Amino acid sequence: MVVSKWELMGKILASGYRRKVLSALSTRLLTPRKLEQKLKIRISHISFTLSELTGLGLVKCTTPNLRAGKLYGITKKGKNMLRLLKKNR
């Protein structure tokens, strides 16, 4: 599925959870549990948001073979989108 950068921006801006998770992952790799603690967002919302952001190519699981303790990080595409969002505030 090809999505333009403006559609991606709209998708991110439409959800506070997407913005917060993407921003939190911009500085370091985190597990869903660490994101939950840091952002004060329920784990079910974190998991759903990570799934969405992964599907959009903005976030990547760096340890996909682990059952627990998966680490997530932002992709180059995700970093570019964050930069674009900050520039267009």
Domain annotation for the chain: domains and CATH numbers: 5-87 (1.10.10.10)
Interaxial angle between packed helices 16-25 and 76-87, expressed in degrees from 0 to 180 and rounded to the nearest 10 = 120
pTM, entire model? 0.91
Say what the pLDDT of residue 2 is: 64
Query: Does residue 28 register a pLDDT over 70?
Result: yes
Q: What are phi and psi of 74, to 5 degrees?
A: -85, 145
Identify the bridge partners of residue 73 per DSSP, sorted by sequence position: 60
Say what the pLDDT of residue 38 is: 97
Q: What is the mean pLDDT of residues 9-19?
A: 94
Q: What is the mean pLDDT of the chain?
A: 93
Query: Does residue 84 register a pLDDT over 70?
Result: yes
Amino acid in position 84: L
Q: What is the mean pLDDT of residues 74-81?
A: 95
Q: What is the mean pLDDT of residues 61-82?
A: 94
